[in-house]
Amino acid sequence: MNTLIPATMVLSLSLAPMQAVEVPAIPENVVKLFQVEEDVSNHQILLFTASWCPACVQMKNNEFPALRDKNWEIGEGQSSHIRVIDVDQHPGLTDKYNVQSLPTLILVVDGKEVSRSGSLNAYSIAEMFYNRK
């Protein structure tokens, strides 16, 4: 029995229009993570990104709105919860943290790297920030 998929079927599947995916709301247990009473002023997530990186753009567009809705500061400032670092504009920082792929999220506490990850959803970013993985 031949199990090959006809080329016309493969072509039709590859040309099918993509449907928009609805981004779910942040679960209530995650909302509590945003309201932790501990001092986290020495925490920061460094997000190494680039304008040409599709995964970076997708993470920013899909996950950052939920974080901003919970009053997270996301930007280039050193006081932001998530400090966005463009690898093309800051090659020295990229080398210092040995960033090999994009996006890369690095949790820094008291100036020291605690953990690192690739692309994450808003829930996992909050977990990473509060070091609860």
Q: Provide DSSP, 29-64.
A: HHHHHHT--S--TTEEEEEEE-TT-HHHHHHHHHHH
Domains, the chain, with CATH or none: 51-133 (3.40.30.10)
The 10s digit of each residue's pLDDT in 33-87 is 555 445 556 889 999 999 999 999 999 999 999 999 888 999 998 888 999 999 9
What's this model's pTM, rounded to 2 decimal places?
0.71
Residue 23 confidence (pLDDT) above 90: no
